[in-house]
Structure 1
Amino acid sequence: MLGVVAVALGGPEVLQVTELPEPEAGPGQVVVRVRAVCVHPADVAATTGEIPRGPDLPPFSPGWDIAGEVASVGPGTTDFAVGDRVAGMIPWYTTRGVPGGYAELVPAETDWLVPLPEGLDFVPAATVPLNAQTAHQGLSLVSLAMLPAGSSILVTGASGGVGGFATQLAVQGGYRVLAQASDGDEQWVQSLGAHEVVSRSADLASVGPVAAVFDAIPLGEAAAAAVEDRGVVVATRPTAPIVPARGVRQELQLIRLDRELLADLVGQVAAGSLRTRVADTMPLTEAADAHRRVLAGGLNGKLVLTVG
């Protein structure tokens, strides 16, 4: 089978298309015939070494989010059958790319996967797991602050995958959402239900105070300037400590796989109550070019690699 592996740490040029042995499903596992795999900034960070791999060295395969069909099942596996359509998230934070999603066939624990509802195509399904779960779990940290109904939340990076889901889920949760849009992308962000769209160039200190900030970019101190005293800021990557004088609580949201939550989020996308956006699709064999496009920025939606 074909796969894409990073043969060293570096830029897109370290990604090579290669022939790999076909995997076999062990107990409690299936092998997924991948039809779509999402390209995330985290994949780029893995190849450059920004996401550490401990003592392990390349080669390894990037790729968190996959959608496809069950090609084989391991001994004693009853959750899925051959031919079932599935979507899932490889917990790359534990696999460290062995396996990763950039391959025609991927061995997967059944706990990584959920059934893919009829009517939801592989490509949009592959954009859901990492981004939507991060958004939902980050907003759970906001809700722990016991904000009253109707409280205002600022979402930075609302044009992106995590920020777009966070905007929609915050609206569903009854918050008043101020959503920061990239230049030229205001209409898309408005369509997600945001009560107010904030320009990317705006001084965020002038748009608050808000009770909480979901900092999806993240901006760190610049985003915290919008939050009220004793408010909360949730970031999706580590940022510098916020000046503590105002009692602002700082939280870090790192993804954790939650199969029940993932099934619910995929179901909402299938039903149309959550929206996702695909900028373009590219063949798996063009993964290096896909990474170059992510690094260049300016994408309105996610890049998805397709197989077959």
Structure 2
Amino acid sequence: MLGVVATALGGPEVLQVTELPDPEAGPGQVVVRIRAVCVHPADVASTTGEIPRGPVPTPFSPGWDIAGEVASVGPGTAEFAVGDRVVGMIPWYLTRGNPGGYAEFVAADTDWLVPLPDGVDFAAASTVPLNAQTAQQGLALVSLAMLPAGSSILVTGASGGVGGFATQLALQSGFRVLAQAGHDDEQWVRDLGAHEVVSRSADLAAVGPVSAVFDAIPLGEAAAAAVEDRGIVVTTRPTPPIVPARGVRQELQLIRHDHELLAVLVGQVAAGQLRTRVAATMPLTEAADAHRRVLAGGLHGKIVLTTG
């Protein structure tokens, strides 16, 4: 099969298309014929070594979120059958690229996967697992603060994958949502239902005070300036500690795979209760160019790699 591996640490040029052995499904596994794999900033960071717990030894395959069809089933595996449509998240923080999703096939634990309803196409489905789970789990940290009903929350990066889902899920939870949009992307954020859209160039200290900040970019101290005394800030990557004088609680949200949560979120996408978007699809063999587009920024949606 064809796959894409990082042969060294560096920029997009380290991604090489190569022939890899066809995977075989072990007990509790299925082989997924990958139709779509989402390109995340985390994939780009993996090739440069800028990820939590340090660089991964090369060669490795990037890729967290996959969607496709079951091609074969391992011994004693009854959760799926050949031909089933599935979507899932390779827990890359555990596999460290062995396997990764940049391939035509992958042997996946059944717990990584959930059924994919017919009404959701593969490309859109592949944008859901990592981003939506991170958003919901981050909001669960906010809920621990026991904020009053209708409290305000600022979501940074609301035009992006995690921020877009966080905006929608915060609205579902009854928050008054102020959402920071990227340049020329304000309408998308308004359409998600945000109560107020904040410009990317706005001084966030003048936006608040809000009860909570979901810092999906993250901006760190600049976003924390919007939160009220004894409020809460949740970030999606490590940031410097916030000055503690105001009693602001700081939480770090790093993804952990939750099979049941993923099934719920995919169901919401299928029902039209959560929106996602794809900026462009590109062949798997153009993974290096896809990384260049992510690094260039300005995307309105996710880049998705597809196979034939």
Q: Say whether the fold is shared (TM-score over 0.5).
A: yes
Q: For 2:209 and 2:4, locate their aligned partners in 1 and report how far apart those are by CA, in whole Å.
A: 46
Match of 2:137 in 1: 137
Q: How far 1:54 moved relative to its partner?
A: 6.0
Match of 1:241 in 2: 241
| Match runs of 1:1-308 below 5 Å | 1-51=1-51, 57-308=57-308
Q: For 2:290 and 2:264, locate their aligned partners in 1 and report how far apart those are by CA, in whole Å.
A: 29
1:172 and 1:83, CA in 2 relative to 1: closer, same or farther beyond 3 A?
same
- The one-letter code matched in structure 1 to 2:37 is V
1:71-129 Cα shifts (integer Å, max 9, x gaps): 00100000001000000000000000000000000010000000001111100000000
| Contact 1:53/1:96 (<8 A) preserved | no
1:219 and 1:3, CA in 2 relative to 1: closer, same or farther beyond 3 A?
same
Q: How many residues align?
A: 308
Q: How far 1:56 moved relative to its partner?
A: 5.5
| Contact 1:46/1:52 (<8 A) preserved | no
| Unaligned residue ranges in structure 1 (runs of 5+) | none
Q: How far 1:293 moved relative to its partner?
A: 0.4
Q: Alignment identity in percent? A: 86
Q: SS at 2:134's partner residue?
A: helix
1:117-162 Cα shifts (integer Å, max 9, x gaps): 1111100000000000000000000011001110000000000000
TM-score normalised by length of structure 1: 0.99
- The one-letter code matched in structure 1 to 2:278 is V
| Unaligned residue ranges in structure 2 (runs of 5+) | none
Q: For 2:116 and 2:86, locate their aligned partners in 1 and report how far apart those are by CA, in whole Å.
A: 5
Q: For 1:281 and 1:86, locate their aligned partners in 2 and report how far apart those are by CA, in whole Å.
A: 19
- The one-letter code matched in structure 2 to 1:114 is V
Cα RMSD over matched residues? 0.9
1:55 and 1:271, CA in 2 relative to 1: closer, same or farther beyond 3 A?
closer
Q: For 1:23 and 1:188, locate their aligned partners in 2 and report how far apart those are by CA, in whole Å.
A: 40
Q: For 2:204 and 2:171, locate their aligned partners in 1 and report how far apart those are by CA, in whole Å.
A: 20
